[in-house]
Amino acid sequence: MFLSALPFAAFESGAVPAGADNDGVLLYEIGYKLPSGSSNYDGISVKNYGDSSVSLIGYTIVDESGKSISLTGSLAAGAVAVFVKSDVADSWFCKDRDVREVSFGSFTLNNGGDNVYLKNGSGTTIDVVSYGSIDAPTTGWVGKSVDGSTADQAIKRVEPTDTNTHFDWIATSGEHTSNGFREVPQFDGCTVEPFVFPDANGRPIFDAVMSADTSIHISIYMMTSDYMISLLANKASAGVDVKLLLENKPLGYTHPLEKLTAIEHAGGKVSFIGFNGDYDRYSYVHN
pLDDT, one tens digit per residue, over 74-121 is: 999 999 999 988 777 667 778 788 989 888 888 888 888 899 999 999
Report the C-alpha gap between 114 and 204 in whole angstroms: 27
What angle is formed at CA 213 by the lines to CA 287 and CA 170, rounded to 5 degrees? 55
Domain definitions of the chain by residue range: 2-14+181-283, 20-177
Half-sphere exposure of 164 (CA within 13 A, CB side): 14
Closest among 250, 272, 270 to 260, alpha carbons compared: 270
- What pLDDT score was predicted for residue 138? 86
Which residues share a beta bridge with 129? 116
How large is the greatest C-alpha to C-alpha distance in the chain, in angstroms?
A: 69
Taking 50 as the pLDDT cut, the residues of the chain under it are 1-21, 175-179, 287
What angle is formed at CA 19 by the lines to CA 192 and CA 141, rounded to 5 degrees? 115
- What pLDDT score was predicted for residue 80? 93
- What pLDDT score was predicted for residue 7? 35
Report the C-alpha gap between 177 and 47 in whole angstroms: 13
End-to-end Cα, the chain, rounded Å: 17
Instruction: Please name the residues in contact with 11: beta carbons below 8 A apart, sequence gap of 6 or more.
Output: 1, 190, 191, 193, 207, 208, 211
- What pLDDT score was predicted for residue 26? 95
Residue 258, Cα to own-chain centre: how many angstroms? 32
Inter-residue contact 212 to 188 (CB < 8 Å): no
Inter-residue contact 185 to 192 (CB < 8 Å): yes
- What pLDDT score was predicted for residue 148? 76
What class is the 20-177 domain? mainly beta
Inter-residue contact 35 to 92 (CB < 8 Å): no
- What pLDDT score was predicted for residue 42? 80
- What pLDDT score was predicted for residue 264? 94
Inter-residue contact 167 to 141 (CB < 8 Å): no
Tell me the H-state helices in the chain: 174-177, 203-211, 226-237, 257-265
What's this model's pTM, rounded to 2 decimal places?
Answer: 0.59
Closest among 163, 255, 257, 250 to 206, alpha carbons compared: 163
Beta strands in 34-102 (DSSP E): 43-48, 54-55, 60-62, 68-70, 74-75, 80-84, 99-101
- What pLDDT score was predicted for residue 267? 96
